[in-house]
Structure formats: C-alpha cells, structure tokens
Structure 1
Amino acid sequence: MRRDLPYALSGLTLGVLLFANAVIAPDAAPVRVVDVALIVVMAAAVAVCRRYPVVALIAVTAAMLGLHLRVHAGVAAAFPVLGAVYVAAWRGHRLVTALASVVFLGGFLARDISVAPAGRPGQQIVERSALLLGWFVAANVAGLVARQRRAYLEQVEQRAVEAERTREEMALRRAGEERLRIARDLHDSLTHSISVIKVQAGIALHLARKHGEEPSATLLAIQEASSAAMRELRSTLDVLRSPSAADCVGLARVDELAERTRAAGVPVQVTVTGERRDLPAEVDQAGYRVVQEALTNVARHAGPATARITVEYAPATLTVSVIDDGQASSVRPVTPGVGLRGMRERVTGLGGVLNAAARDDGGFAVRATFPLDGPA
C-alpha cells in the first residue's frame, strides 16, 4: 500500500487540475456529473496502475478520451494517459501502450477536426497533434528505456550474487582441501607415533604379567592415555574429513578425564553445582577442552599435587574451573604457552572470559566463564 501512495497522490492531483482546467477553459463545455465521474475513474485508475498497468491504461484512456469528447478539455486530458502509458511500457506491455497511444491520438485529432471551422483544420490543430504525438512517442520510449535499465540492474545484481556465491564455494572447497591435507598429515605422523607408544606399553604390560610382576600404575596410565589419545585423534580426523560430523566430546565426559588423570598419579576431585542442562555444542566442547588442557598442565608442570574440577551451571552462564595446589607461585609468573593461548582463544571466541594465573597460597587456577544467552 505504501508503494501505491505516490500513484494515488498523482491521480488526485491530475483530477484536480483537469477539473479546474475544464471549469476555467474558455472553449470548454459546462462540466456535468458524468464528466466528474470520468475524472474520478481516471484518478482511481492512476492510483492502481502500478499493480494493474493494463487495466489502468485502458480505463484512463477511455475516461480521458470521453472527457475530451464531452468537455473539450484540451491537451490537459493527455497528461494522465501519458503517465499510464509510461508505467505500462515500463512493466513490459508494449503492444497495449502502442494501441492506447494510437486510439487516444486518433480520438483527440478526430474531435479537434470535427469542431474546427469548415474548410481546413487550421495550424493550431496540426501543431497540437504533432506535440501530442511527440509526447506519446517519448512516453513509450522512456518506459522501454526504464524497463531495460531495470533489467540491466537486475542482471548486474544477479551476476554479483553469482560471483559472491562462486567465491564462497571456492573458499569452502579450499578449506575442505586444507582440512583433508591436515587430516592426512596428522594420520601419517601422530597416529603412527601414538600407535607405537600404545603397542610398546602393551608389550611392557604383557612382559610384566608374564614374569609374575604387577604392572606399575605409570605403565597402566601410559596405556590408557595412549588409547584415549587414539580415540580423540580418530574423532578429530573424522571431523576434519567430514565438517558436518559432530565432535563427541563434552562436559559429560569430564569424569573420564578425571579418571585418566588419577591413573597418571594426580588425585582429582570433580564437583558439579547447579542444574545440569543441555548446552550449545560449541560451549560444551570448549568447556571440555579447557578442563582437558588444564589437567594436562597439572600432570606436566604442577609436580606432586591434587586438582579440583568445578563445573557451575547458572541460568545465563557456564563456569568451569581447575585448581591445583602444585608448585606454581605468584612470585614466579607463569609464561603462557601454546596450551594457555589455545584455551583463551577457545573461550574468547565464544564471548567468554578466561582467567589463568598462579594462586597466592600456591598452585595454579584456571577459570573459564561462557555466556549462554549471548556474548559476554
């Protein structure tokens, strides 16, 4: 409706001008009720000519031709027809616009000739007919040019969309190729190395049991860690090869992390507060990875220590923390390594906040807070 408002205002303005011209023109006949009705029909047709260009053009042409035949409104009667011709040509109805132009010009000229003095039509009729002919040709041509311009702009826009889609497809293809390359490199290097570790640990366990000895906890932890590493590496390779595959890790598997860390000789306590609920997949995976990396750092750097994992579910946030009582001290600041940088990138990439620092009373604390209702 808002797009039709300019047409409605144009029809109303043309109606007022035609009525005023018919009233004050010296050679016009008296305006009657039928003439007013013709002006109203014209205004209504102009108001809807955007949606119904052919019907509006026929109605405007008939109404203005009838008004001119009855009142002799003059050139002013051609203005609404010119506008309707332009709109219809712009919408692609070339044959209808040409016929309407010919009909109106023929009727207009016939009316002028019929009321002209006997003998010759007169120079004024010739000049007015030539002027109207030029206007109608211009209206038809302008409508066709506007249509061609619109078609050209739509084509340019479509080409831009196609080019953008092509660029996106190329980028996705290159990303897919890069993922496959990384997957191959990981498979060829890490998979082999971890498999060797797992096999050697298994052989050591077998030999220990064969000689009647109880396998050490460290050896059992090595075998369990290598098996877990193989499982996670295969999962990572599946994700790299198939981006749509979901990563199976999440906070539901924190107990497994704690158990593996205990097997490595680090006592771990797990505390969950709040009501467990479904989390966004990215947040769930990032929380798991933060706990995993923090426990890895405890096992590698904390020395003899215990660790405490806390998972806090709040209405708008999720907080995971890993605190140990190891060798770290606030007097000797910890230099962030690749693991801490990776944790920070994971957390901040989801709009969260990561705090990782040595504690005043000894040990190290990692605390990550994720927003669950939008960026923090």
Structure 2
Amino acid sequence: MRRDLPYALSGLALGGLLLANAALAPDAAAIGALDVALVLAMAVALAVCRRYPAVALGVVTVAMLALHVRVHPGVSAAFPALAAVYVAAWRGQRVAAVVASLVFLGGFLARDVAVTPTGRPGQLIVERTALLLGWFVAANVAGLVARQRRAYLEQVEQRAIDAERTREEVALRRAGEERLRIARDLHDSLTHSISVIKVQAGIAVHLARKRGEEPSATLLAIQEASSAAMRELRVTLDVLRSPADEDRLGLARVDELAARTRAVGVPVQVTVTGAVGDLPAEVDQAGYRVVQEALTNVARHAGPATAHVHVEYAPAQLAVSVTDDGRGSPAQPMTPGVGLRGMRERVTGLGGTLHAAADDNGFTVRATFPLHTPAPTQRPREVQPAQSATDRDGADRREEPA
C-alpha cells in the first residue's frame, strides 16, 4: 500500500487540476455530478495502476474521453491518460499502452472536429492533435526505456549475486582441495614416521619383557606418546577430510595429557573449577592445544619441575593456565618461536588473550577465551610478551612438540 501512495496522490492532484481547469476554461461546459464521478474513477484507477496497469489504463482512457466529450476541459484531460500509458508501458503492457493511446487520440480528435464551428480554421485542431501525438509517443517510449533500465539493473544485480556465489564456491572448493592435500602430505610423511617410532618402541618393550626385564619408564613413555600422537593425527586427518566432523580433541581429555606428561617424569596436577558446560568446538579444541603445548614445553625445557594445570569455567569466559616451577627468569627476554606464535594465533583468533611469561617461580602460560561473543573478523596483531625466559640454548622455551 505504501508503494501505491505516490500514484494515489498523483491521481488526486490530476483530478483537482482537471476540475479547476474545467471551471476556469471559457469554452468548457458546467461541471456536474457525473463529471466529478468520472474524475474520482480516474483517481482510483491511477492509485492501483502499478498493480493492475491494463485495467487502470482502460478506466482512465474511458473516463477522460467521457469527461472531454461532456465538459471539454482542454488538453488537461490527456494528462491522466499519459500517466496511465507510461505506467502500462513500464509494467510491460506495451500493446495496451499503444491501443489506449490511439483510442484516446482518435476520440479527442473526433470530438474537436464535431464541435468545431463551420468555417473555423482547422489549424488549432491540427496543432493540438500533433502535440498530443508527440506526448503519447513520448509516454510510450519513456515507459519502455524505464522497463528496459529496470531489467538491466536487475540483470546486473543478479550477475553480481551469481559472481559472489561463484567466488564463494570456488573459495570453498579450493579450501577443500588444500585440506585434502595437507591431509595426504601428513598421512604420507608424518604418519609414517610416527608409525615407525611406535612400532620400534613396541618391539623394544616386547624384547625387554621377553628377556625378563622390565622396560624403562622412558621407553614406555615413548610408546605411549607415539600411540597418542597417532590417535590425534587420525583425528586431525579426519577433520581435514571432513570439516563437519565433530569428533575433536577437547578439555575433557586433559587428564590424558597429564598422564602422558607424568610418564616422562614430570609431576602434573590438574585442577578444574566452575561448572563444566558445553563449549564451542573451536574454544574447546584451542584450550586443549594450549595445555598440550605448554605441558610439552615443560617436559622439554623446564628441567626438574612440577606442572600445575588449572581449567576455570565461568559463564562469560574460559580460562586455562599451566604453571611450572622450573627454570625461568624475568630478566631474560624471549624470542617467540613457532610454538608460542601458534598458541597466540589460536587464542587471539577466537577473541581471547594469551599471557606467556617467566617469573621468579618458573613459567606461566594463561589463555582466556570469551564465551557467547563473536570472534573478531581479523586477527589482532601479535603482541610480544614483555619478559619471559630463554632456555639454555638461547631458543624459545615454548617450541612446538616434536
């Protein structure tokens, strides 16, 4: 209805113009009730001409011809017909627009010829007819041009939508192909190497037990770590091959990480506080990876140390921290390596913050993830920690696990 309001107002304005012109024109007849009804019918028809162009065009043409025959308001009777012709041509009713134009011109000319006094020069009739003919031709052409322009704009818009959809499909296809390539490379290289380690460790354990000896704790830790690495690698390969796969690593398996770290001789304490609830898959997996990386670094670089894992659930955020009492000094700056950069990218990519620094009591890694808030569209610029610790070789203490 709101889109029809301009047409209704135009009809009322043209009706007022017709009545005023008929009242002021010296050669116009007196206005009667039927004439007012014809003007009102024209106004109603123009109000609905956008939805019913052919019907409205017929009503306006007949009403204006009847008004011209009865009152003779002059060329102003053609204005509503011109508007209806334009709208009909714009809405695709080209034949109806042409027929209505010819009917109105023929009726207008016939009435002028019929009432022209004998001997009166016909130049006025010819000029008026030529003027109306030009107006109606212009109205038809303008309506066709407007329709073609609208069709062109719709076509351009549709092409833009199709192009955007095509770009998204191409990007998704390329991302899928890249995931498959990475999965193949990991399977062909890393899986083979880990499998060899697992098999060799298993053989060593078997031979030791066959000789009646108890396998060393280090050998058992290697066997367990290789088995766990194979399981995690299979999960990673499944995710790469099927992005919708929901079987992902999460904080529910932190106890397994702690057990594997204890197996290599590092005491680990795990504390969970708060109400454990469902986490977004990305946050759950990122928290697990932060704990995994931090415990790996403790085992590799902290020396004789005890690690403490704290997982804190809160309504608005999740916080995971790993602290150790190993080697560390805030006086020695640290150059971030691949492991720390990877942790920071995981955390900041989900809108969280990461703190990794040494103090007088050891080293602390703490990550916080906001819950129930959208992740940022762009990854924040990496902020270097102010102070941290460097291992004995001068490299980043927090390297990626082997």
Q: Do Structure 1 and Structure 2 share a fold, with TM-score over 0.5?
A: yes
Q: Distance in 2 between matches of 1:155 and 1:186?
A: 46
The one-letter code sitting in structure 1 at the alignment partner of 2:346 is: R
Q: Residue 28 of structure 1 corresponds to which residue in structure 2?
A: 28
8 Å CA contact retained: 2:46, 2:84: yes
Q: Secondary structure, in 3 states, of the residue corresponding to 1:347?
A: helix
Bigger mean CA deviation after superposition, 246-255 or 287-296: 246-255
Deviations 1:324-352 (A, max 9, x none): 11112212233211111011111111111
Q: Distance in 2 between matches of 1:321 and 1:136?
A: 81
1:288-327 alignment runs, 5 A limit = 288-327=288-327
Percent of paired sites with the same residue? 81
Does 2:116 match 1:128? no
The one-letter code sitting in structure 2 at the alignment partner of 1:374 is: T
TM superposition shift of 1:229: 0.6
Q: Secondary structure, in 3 states, of the residue corresponding to 2:183?
A: helix
Q: Secondary structure, in 3 states, of the residue corresponding to 2:13?
A: helix
1:218-257 alignment runs, 5 A limit = 218-257=218-257
Q: Residue 179 of structure 1 corresponds to which residue in structure 2?
A: 179
Q: Distance in 2 between matches of 1:131 and 1:113?
A: 16
Structure 2 spans left out of the alignment, 5+ residues? 376-402
Does 2:349 match 1:356? no
TM superposition shift of 1:222: 0.9
Q: Secondary structure, in 3 states, of the residue corresponding to 2:28?
A: coil
Q: Distance in 1 between matches of 2:29 and 2:120?
A: 23
Does 2:369 match 1:370? yes
Q: Distance in 1 between matches of 2:137 and 2:42?
A: 21
Q: Secondary structure, in 3 states, of the residue corresponding to 2:245?
A: coil
Q: Residue 343 of structure 1 corresponds to which residue in structure 2?
A: 343
8 Å CA contact retained: 1:45, 1:56: yes
TM superposition shift of 1:83: 1.0
Q: Distance in 2 between matches of 1:271 and 1:5?
A: 68
8 Å CA contact retained: 1:68, 1:77: yes
The one-letter code sitting in structure 1 at the alignment partner of 2:211 is: H
Q: Distance in 2 between matches of 1:112 and 1:285?
A: 88
Q: Residue 141 of structure 1 corresponds to which residue in structure 2?
A: 141
Q: Distance in 1 between matches of 2:341 and 2:42?
A: 73
Q: Distance in 2 between matches of 1:164 and 1:50?
A: 32
TM superposition shift of 1:163: 2.4
The one-letter code sitting in structure 2 at the alignment partner of 1:369 is: T
Bigger mean CA deviation after superposition, 65-74 or 191-200: 65-74
Q: Distance in 2 between matches of 1:320 and 1:35?
A: 85
Q: Residue 79 of structure 2 corresponds to which residue in structure 1?
A: 79
TM-score (norm 1): 0.95
Q: Number of paired residues? A: 375
More helix by share: 1
Q: Distance in 2 between matches of 1:91 and 1:187?
A: 62
8 Å CA contact retained: 2:248, 2:281: no
Q: Residue 273 of structure 2 corresponds to which residue in structure 1?
A: 273
Q: Residue 206 of structure 1 corresponds to which residue in structure 2?
A: 206
- Moved >4 Å (runs of 4+): none
Does 2:93 match 1:89? no
Deviations 1:287-314 (A, max 9, x none): 1111111111111111111111111111
Structure 1 spans left out of the alignment, 5+ residues? none
Q: Secondary structure, in 3 states, of the residue corresponding to 2:356?
A: strand
8 Å CA contact retained: 2:11, 2:44: yes
Q: Secondary structure, in 3 states, of the residue corresponding to 1:66?
A: helix
Q: Residue 157 of structure 1 corresponds to which residue in structure 2?
A: 157
TM superposition shift of 1:111: 1.4
